[in-house]
Amino acid sequence: MQQKQEFYETARAIVSFTDSYTQNKQGKRNEQSNQEQTPSLVEISAYLQYLRDQICYNNALNSVIHIPKLLKSLSALVTFRLGTHIDLDVGNQRLKVRSLSRQCLYRIQYIGDEQVHSDLINNGYVRVMSISFSTAGGKGEEQDEEILNGLIRIYDFLIGLHEGKTQQPSFQTLPLLVRNTEEQMEEEGADEELDAQMNNNGFNGRIKSNANDAKAMTLNHFIHRN
């Protein structure tokens, strides 16, 4: 019971933090919300790490999916304060928030079923993961590790939709979701970004290799459609 309560308190803290961030970004915070306490960057990172571990080791996926706004909040935090520059310590804390949010979403993607993939798409998962490997216009991650992880995750997502999941024999291809995925990638200019990363030799050539894999998956679907 205590663990369940801690889980839901964690979820509430993440949603509250994201709501505060979104309202600040949109200039919509009112006097009452300004007085509310929201977690610090260090605290929110701890909450995200706890959530990630619960998804991985305590079969908390169903709870995550059914908590209102949690998926949306995780997707929003993938781009938390992206492109804003401040002192190194705060910048690293913000990067940690973004990275842990992506890790949570990737765990959800990895073990999720067809409905979970639909929920991820509806909450902008493909869009924000595309941003994570973008470098043009100063909107994406500059760190090679985050770029590499973004490429790996978008490839895994695409191959699951196209070919199913080897670790989940019951997970079949999802052609109806492919178009929505393509639309989100197109909106973020992901095809052009994949082309750019195909010339990136960072991480001992792994960025280039994974960009090629992701690009091949998108081209393969284009060929089949035509």
pLDDT at 223 (0 to 100): 40
Pair 109, 125: CB distance under 8 Å? yes
How far is the C-alpha of 80 from the C-alpha of 91, rounded, in Å? 11
pLDDT at 75 (0 to 100): 95
How far is the C-alpha of 46 from the C-alpha of 204, rounded, in Å? 31
The terminus-to-terminus CA distance of the chain in angstroms comes to 54
CB crowding 89-119: b at 16 or more within 10 Å, else e: eeeebbbbbbbbbbbbbbbbbbebebebbeb
Q: Mean pLDDT of successive 10-residue segments in the chain (226 residues)?
A: 86 94 73 55 96 89 91 94 77 91 95 93 92 72 84 93 84 87 89 92 93 87 45
How far is the C-alpha of 177 from the C-alpha of 196, rounded, in Å? 26
- pTM score, two decimals? 0.86
pLDDT at 226 (0 to 100): 42
Q: How far is CA 109 from the centre of its chain?
A: 9
pLDDT at 88 (0 to 100): 83
